[in-house]
Structure 1
Amino acid sequence: MGLTSNKVLVMAIVLAVLLFVGTVWQWPRLARGGWRSVTGRVGLLLATQVAVFTCVGIAANQAFGFYASWADLFGRETAQGVVVNYAPGGGRTGPLQVRTAALVQGVDGRRPQTAGQVQKVDIVGRTTHIATPAYVYLPPEYFQPQYRTRTFPASVVLTGYPGTAQALVDKLRYPRTALELAKNGRMQPMILIMLRPTVAPPRDTECMDIPGGPQTETFFAKDLPDAVLTHYRVGRKPGSWGIIGDSTGGYCALKLAMHHPGVYAAGAGLSPYYKAPTDPTTGDLFHGDKKLRNRSDLRWFIKHEAAPDTSLLVTSSKVGESNYKATLKFIDQVRSTNLTRISSIILDSGGHNFNTWRREIPPTLQWMSGRLTER
């Protein structure tokens, strides 16, 4: 059974309840003196606490989508994706392969023409050879005959670290939110490409081209748009593409929009930070390259490099977010430029979690929609 299975959570809860009942039942028998009784009491208490914490951990993982599998949890997910090529006449080949397709959950409609569609895909970078799964949301208009020649704006959507792409669909509800906003005329129909920034698991690459390592920035700036363009009717001009992310994904979204304004016309960071960290999950990102280190610091970049022609959105909370002061400083720095445009969503309170981001996603999608064109 998978880590995110409801059966695993139910079994953990049942085990915790049984241990609790057993502890209460056996406590009188273990109340006597002696090392055996003491050992029994300690063992029961320890087992019960471990079971309770396991329940809380599994429930939290299901709610926030930290890890997708047991291998992901224990750091054993290290293999790159496998490229599958199909013979002529046997199916489509290329850098993007569709694996499954389903209607958007939680909305009315039984056809993609009315309910939209979420496709699970595999993407392989032609230049970086990075392989990663993703989800693609296609709005209802994509399938409607009157729009068969229309191209659509697209936005890449990134999770935090470690994160799961499925959480963007199920927990943060990006497809459902985009569909409802477009239906109500509050945003234009848009294609969403949803994935994690961790495209070389388990390493957190911070969306960088690491010397001698994964070329993650190139993947997001070149390979990913190229792969999507081979398969979907997406606008090809720079004004057609945006990028959104939360936490680590928010940092990546801002950096990619700033470093590659010719690709991404807008970048939105939900609860972002502004400088790539160095810790056990990242390893040595810079390998002594001072220029690479400086460019990864967004505040340094906006101060010392030419201002990029792009639009940025940042979010934070006055209470509950650790990036509040850094966000205000970043806003002031960007406002002092003549070319880069900056917007913000500042909540009175809200933690670094899904509940906060769900409050920020609708206005973020509307903001993004207003800055992208179809072609």
Structure 2
Amino acid sequence: MLEPNSVALVVLLWVSFAAAVVAVVVLWPRLARRRPLALLGRLGTQVGASALVVLAAAATLNQQNGWYGTWSDLGRDLMGTPPSVQRVAVKGDLQTAGQYSASAAAEADLRAQRLFGPERAVFARDAKLHVAPGPHGQWLHVVIPGLGKAAGRGAGKAMIWLPPAYVDGPSQATYPVIEAYAGIPGSPADYQKRMGLQNIIVRAHQKSGLIEPVVVVPDYTPSGIDTECTNSGGIDMETWLTKTVPAWTVRHLRVRPDKESWAVMGFSAGGFCAEVSAFLHPQQYGSVMLFGTYNNPSWGNWTPYGRRSIWPARYSMLNVVRQTPPPVDVWIEVSEGDRFAGPPSRSLINAAHGRMSVTSVYLPGAGHRFDVWQAVMPVALEWLGHAEPGFHGVIGDGVTHGTPRARSDDRVVLRGRKEDARPA
């Protein structure tokens, strides 16, 4: 059967279009008369040829991008029916739950409060946070320095979502963090405007008890450069994402510094970015959620090593997992009809071993597109709330009110640069 992403369908439609053009040329003289049948014939040939070229172009784009893998998937989307989870598989034991120490996490949280309380208060004032942000929180635009001149002007942009309780709740309460990466083409705003992540988080909080996290969405494509979240071509994007951004976040926002309270996620190209962050920096992130991911850099408009097929060995994520499996918990969406991300996702699952756990969610026939990932985002967040100790429980005002002084024995590892950040 000719599936919507098959090469055979693309060839058939373009051949049909060419035949339709020939038919128009051959039949047009016969249809030049001013009779009803001739008029209908001219209209029919033009409409038919136009429809075929549109279908051929659509099939070509679908074949290149893998939006729809099966006719049933296309039909469900046209009917407005979201994809459903076919099965869930679990491989390995959850890592962070066994490693988590509530007392150590609380101690690290208190140290961060003492060290950065004044800076957090200044940032909240300068950012002009809404006192009553509404039931779905508020988004901020910020600039986080540290990328350098090679990244171009305007580098370091990020969007941040603060849950409603961040302003309306206890003034000393602290929150877990999700660092999220968008796809390409795309931007951090996709999480706000297209996905409506803020609404999904609020519903997950109400349904499953997920602690509403702070969400940080950095822009890893400065000046339109597809960095693939790597340290390449003079742009240290990996370092900025995994060291500078977390350090800035802990310094300026009331968030928890322990790895069990940090998760990273991404879809498509952002999924690979999430792999780079979690697998190469498991000391920073306890869990990772992957949607339509792949396991090697997929250079687009930028080839820092001369060819698209060349990259440093450290960015071959399958080799990383096989050789030194990171102690992280992985949630991964596998679309059975996604010929781009389906095979890499299954390869990653098969490669996982050791201290790495993988929860796989399979969608029958689904393709590589945004609404698929949007549909399963609640499933991922529910998993996060149940699996990761830093993301479930109750936000309380466990810290003494006021602005405590930093003590000489307070130490928090800051892996980023110390420049003052500013609201965008």
Same fold (TM over 0.5): yes
1:345-367 CA-partner distances (Å, limit 9, x unpaired): 11012221111011111111222
Q: Which residue of 1 aligns with 2:223?
A: 201
Q: Which residue of 1 aligns with 2:270?
A: 249
Q: Pick the structure with greater CA Rg.
A: 2
Q: Indicate which of 251, 261, 269 corresponds to 2:282.
A: 261
Pairs within 5 Å for 1:12-91: none
How far is 1:161 from its partner? 1.1
- 1:142 equivalent in alignment to 2:166: yes
Any unmatched runs of 5+ in structure 2? 1-31, 34-45, 62-120, 396-424
1:294-315 CA-partner distances (Å, limit 9, x unpaired): 11111111122x2211112221
SS of corresponding position for 1:204: coil
- The residue type equivalent to 1:351 in the other structure is G
SS of corresponding position for 1:125: coil
CA distance in 2, matches of 1:263, 1:176: 26
Q: Which residue of 2 aligns with 1:192?
A: 215
Contact 2:231–2:237 (CA under 8 A) maintained in structure 1: yes
Please, what TM-score do these two structures have when normalized by structure 1? 0.66
How far is 1:180 from its partner? 1.5
SS of corresponding position for 1:346: strand
Pairs within 5 Å for 1:181-330: 181-198=204-221, 200-210=222-232, 212-279=233-300, 281-285=301-305, 293-304=312-323, 306-330=324-348
How far is 1:236 from its partner? 0.9
Q: Indicate which of 350, 354, 357 corresponds to 2:370.
A: 354
- 1:115 equivalent in alignment to 2:135: yes
Contact 2:147–2:156 (CA under 8 A) maintained in structure 1: no
How far is 1:320 from its partner? 3.6
Q: Name the CA shift for 1:241/1:285 in 2 (closer, same or farther; >3 Å).
A: farther
CA distance in 2, matches of 1:315, 1:116: 26
Q: Which residue of 2 aligns with 1:371?
A: 388
CA distance in 1, matches of 2:257, 2:271: 23
Greater share of residues in helix: 2
SS of corresponding position for 1:242: strand
Q: Which residue of 1 aligns with 2:145?
A: 125
- The residue type equivalent to 1:205 in the other structure is T
How far is 1:339 from its partner? 0.7
CA distance in 2, matches of 1:341, 1:207: 23
Task: Report which stretch shifted further, 324-333 or 250-259.
Answer: 324-333
CA distance in 1, matches of 2:305, 2:360: 29
SS of corresponding position for 2:364: strand
Q: Name the CA shift for 1:356/1:270 in 2 (closer, same or farther; >3 Å).
A: same
Q: Name the CA shift for 1:371/1:285 in 2 (closer, same or farther; >3 Å).
A: farther
Q: Name the CA shift for 1:238/1:183 in 2 (closer, same or farther; >3 Å).
A: same
Identify which of structures 1 and 2 has the higher relative contact order when contacts are C-alpha pairs closer than 8 Å and 6+ apart. Answer: 2
Please, what TM-score do these two structures have when normalized by structure 2? 0.59
CA distance in 1, matches of 2:265, 2:290: 6
CA distance in 1, matches of 2:260, 2:347: 27
Contact 1:154–1:235 (CA under 8 A) maintained in structure 2: yes
- The residue type equivalent to 2:388 in the other structure is R
SS of corresponding position for 2:347: helix
Q: Which residue of 2 aligns with 1:331?
A: 349
